[in-house]
Chain A
């Protein structure tokens, strides 16, 4: 009895440690006060309303969505091309190039930020969508490479040969046989890359100013004077969206 109780307690403790900070946002977002607090005398939706009413929040959400979507798309194209190419060649190329391509995961973000600040200033990409999208795509690419490489590990290369022998050209074989079979890897790579960009702050602090004003940046700037409970409202909305997506997914699988 005791033997089986202890691991359970540990498991629940860990789960609480992971989940509670996230869940605390929900009550905070419902506070009627203007500052960060737990609701005491009744609840209010005013912070949700302010999210919708404040054009600045909307603009930043739009900026973040735009940058993250394009960065994810670019990362998927680059990462998938690299992963497929390297998988084809194998051998030395794979052993040497793969670690180099994964470097953006290892290099400290602050190093990237300084480097790109200098570089983008030279060529006029500071505070532009292009500049931020390029850097975010680069940060997302290694994740796409990893997920696509994992998907390719389960891919039977003979299906590719079969497609060719059945009359499909190299291009059609890619579109009809290879890509559909590694769809899962492409999709999870895209999700990774999207969220890397969605909550990236360090590079954004260095290379954006007013033209491009992403959500993490706005939250960060807001922290300097007074923490707006609208942030908690935003966080809660995102959690609800994620949970809704997960529920949908499990229903679909059934």
Chain B
């Protein structure tokens, strides 16, 4: 049942609007791939092209090497969970889940076992005879999942299935979805604009921006080795320091910035320093101390604001006219005497946590 999918230059334009630029993408059999990006970045377009509801303007989609670009949605055998679930309001829960089997010409009696199994998997047995309108948001979502899984699809596509739910329910269902992915082993393609959701659930995440995949990698690779300033800023937080030039010596970059020369690194081997570049540093990778630290990069600054967040303390430090955001674990901050607003401090970090990234996409 596991199939791999390939996008060959799939693009979509509506008149002059480019919803999706020609995109290459490889979806591995059995993986949990998340499409993450701001509103209007083309996530739904990509997913609907996969489902067969959007006819690509260019390129082709292959399922295990077979071209499915022109196959209608009902013949693709993909489960789709729509935003807002799109349950059939005139059918009971049981009939909703039976629907795909009925479409495959299976009689009620023959389908009973499969439907009941799917309902049991989603813990929906007690609600089988209810109408969808008489269910809570979480229950509706589980019906949508049961309906999309009951016919053992080759691929499950989910478009922001949790966005309508409150935070605590969302957390529970995230865990359930991940569990479900493990249990059924089907390939999941999941759309969200919630980065925490993406980080906690996915095997791989594709970051979309303005109809283009910026980077596709595992959660921690994206977090620690972003390849564009947009990714570094969209996933978690980053301090960006503009560069006015750089010298490269055997892979080691020394960047010229308003903070002075900064020792930095390129995101991966073999790339050149981009023409319009900046330095990106995660707030939690910057150390704060009252004495001059031993890090490769050191700057002196003054604490402008200090906010306590329980697990960590967040500082805004002004150094040579630039504001740097720094996260210090609360335990450590407590051991640092005199760490308060207005205090003069040293900031220090090493070359391997300051990345040289292309800048033109840092806006947004």
Contact = CB atoms under 8 A, between A and B. Distances in A.
A44 interface: no
A166 interface: yes
Contacts of B77: 167
B78 interface: yes
A161 B103 CA distance: 14
A162 B83 CA distance: 11
B24 to A, nearest CB: 24
Contacts of B102: 176
Contacts of A54: none
Contact of A158 (B74, B76, B86): B86
Interface of B: 51-53, 72-80, 82-84, 86-90, 99-100, 102-104, 147-148, 151
B82 A162 contact: yes
Interface in A94-148: none
Contacts of A181: 88-90
Contacts of A183: 90
Contacts of A169: 74, 103
A163 interface: yes
Contacts, number: 71
29 contacts: A156-B89, A158-B82, A158-B83, A158-B84, A158-B86, A159-B86, A161-B53, A161-B80, A161-B86, A162-B86, A163-B103, A164-B52, A164-B53, A165-B74, A165-B76, A165-B78, A166-B80, A166-B151, A167-B75, A167-B103, A167-B104, A167-B151, A168-B74, A169-B103, A176-B99, A176-B102, A177-B88, A181-B89, A183-B90
Nearest to A172: B103
Nearest to B73: A164
A166 B53 contact: no
B88 A159 contact: yes
A163 B74 CA distance: 8
A103 B87 CA distance: 37
A42 interface: no
Contacts of A172: 103
Given A158-B82, A172-B103, A165 B73 contact: yes
The winner among B79, B84, B99, B147 for most chain A CB atoms within 10 A is: B99
